[in-house]
Every structure is written in structure tokens, then in C-alpha cells.
Amino acid sequence: MALLNSILYDTVYHSAPIILCVIGGIFAYKANVLNIALEGMMLNGAFISVLVMYFTGNIFFAISSAIITTLLLGLIFSYFGVSKAGNVIVIGLGINFIVPAIAKFVLNMMGMSNISLQNVSVSDFKIHIPIIGSIKIVGSILSGHTFITYLAFIGIAIMSVIMYQTKFGIYVRVVGENEEAAISLGLRTKLYKYMAILLGALCAALAGINLSFERMCMYTNDMTAGRGFIAIAAIYCGGGKPVESSLYAILFGVSRALAVNLSINAGAMAGIFDTIPYVIMVSVLATVSYMKFKNVRVRGYSF
């Protein structure tokens, strides 16, 4: 029972940053812009939040700096990808390479292999819910998480409402489905693409803050470990729908929780379990792709 509780608690723990990237990234996906820079944006949020906290000791400055700098990356991505009609894959990969390179350079200048915060503790960020926390089994799973973790799951409902019940969500989907028709209706398509990308950047920043600052109080190189790409896979598998895509993100959380808990008693074999989440996601992505296109018949042209 203790193992099961630990797996379920860790599922919530590991799902949160992926869900944040998913619910933010779906708007760019619906606007027909593949924001492949989610990985770099999340890593930037993780790095800047810890770095600023290390030098200033101010939580507000740390979080706001991480959000602002990540939004700047979103603006750079939007400018080159939308305004200049550049290749979003190349631009996104550029951001994904630049961010960890800058982080490594700063760490080298500081003479450190990682940044560890000594003046804050992980327990300082955990919220123990009075009523839920007292419920047996359920309390041990749902209580004791950080604010951004709870925000991630609440965000699924919020983003669903924004996407399907607001003009902004409707216009974003119209822009993605038929941009020429949207222009004929007088919609400022580039503006909606910018807003969709920036929304994803904001959520990616929160994911990074949750990953390094809230949960570990430290930063290590490449600590996002491909979570941004996992989020893109989840968005694709879920068809850009907030609830469905988030379920695939939770699937990654389950697989990650299994890997962590099973590796505790695995000894030298522990490293093998780290591959479980990625093997599962690749398998799911392949299965979903097959199910979507198994009945498609592509006919060539005769000349």
C-alpha cells in the first residue's frame, strides 16, 4: 500500500510540469504554429528562477524574472516565426540549444556544476490542505504539493474554458484552421499567433519554476530532460484538446513515477527504469499515429 501511495503521489508530482507545457502549447498548436521551443522555454524558467533567487534571495524577483525572460524568448520565437515567416522548427531548435548553452556558460563563470539554494527548503513551498489532508489514502496523494502543481491541474479546466468558451479561443482556432478565411473576416491573425505563443511561453516558465525552484530548490544542466518534447507529443496525441492532451501528460507522470519507485530497489539496474517513460511515450505516439491514419489511402496522380 505504501508503494502504491508513493507512485500515485509521484504521478501528480511528475505530471504537473508536463501538463503546464501542454495546456499552454495547445494554443500555438491550434493556431497552426508548432512551438517546439517549449523545452528551451521551460529550461529558461528553471534556470533564471534559481539563479535570481541565489543572488537576491527574493522569491518575487526570482519568479517574475523567470516569467519575463521566458516571455522574451516567446517574443523572439514569434517575431522570427510569425512576422518574418521563418521555419519554426529551426527557430525553436535554436532556442532549445541557446538556453542550456547560456546556462552552462554562467555556471562555468560561477565555478559551479549546479546551483543549490541554501536559504530555502522544498517544504516551504508545500501546501497541506486541511480537509483533504486528513482523509486516509486520498490525503497522502493529493495534499502536500506545491502551488504551481495545483495550478497545473486547475489550469486544465481554465484552458478548456478559454479555448471553447471565449472569443480568443475561437479566433485562435479559426486562424489555425483557415488563416485566409480569418483574414477575410478582419482578424489580425499574426496578433493571435503571437498571443498563443506567449501563452505557451508563460506556462512553460511556470513549468520550469515548478521543476527546479519549487520542487528541488536547485538547478542542474539539462534538468528538463526532454519534458518539452514529451508535451508536444502529448498535444499531438490529444489532438490539441486540453483534457485529452493532459491525460497523455499524466500518462508520462505515471510512467515516471513507476520508474522512480521501481528503481529504488533495483540496485545497479536502476538506470534501465529511467527509459520507461520515454519508451511508453514513443509507443503511445506510434500507436496514436497508426490509429489516426490506418484508413487513409493516399492516391497518386497519373501523368
Residues 6+ apart with CB under 8 A from 157: none
pLDDT of residue 298 exceeding 60, the answer is no
Query: Could you give the C-alpha distances from 290 to 27, 222, 287, in angstroms and in order?
Result: 24, 31, 5
74 against 254, higher pLDDT: 74
pLDDT at 126: 84
Query: Could you give the C-alpha distances from 26 to 29, 42, 71, 237, in angstroms and in order?
Result: 5, 15, 17, 11
Q: What b/e readout covers 259-292, taking b as 16+ CB neighbours within 10 angstroms?
A: bbbbbeeeeeeeeebeebbbebbeebbeebeeee
Percent of the chain with pLDDT strictly greater than 90: 56
Cell readout for 266 is 533495483
57 touches 119 (CB < 8 A): yes
Residues 6+ apart with CB under 8 A from 90: none
pLDDT at 203: 96
Q: pLDDT tens for residues 66-97?
A: 999 999 999 999 999 999 989 999 999 999 99
Least Cα distance to 151 among 205, 102, 106 occurs for 205
pLDDT of residue 266 exceeding 70, the answer is no
Q: Which amino acid is at 121?
A: S
Long-range contacts of 261-270, Cβ-Cβ distance < 8 Å, separation of 24 or more: 261/3, 261/6, 261/7, 261/10
Pairing of strands 145-146, 126-127: antiparallel
Q: Which domains does the chain have, with CATH numbers?
A: 2-116+130-293 (1.10.3470)
70 against 186, higher pLDDT: 70
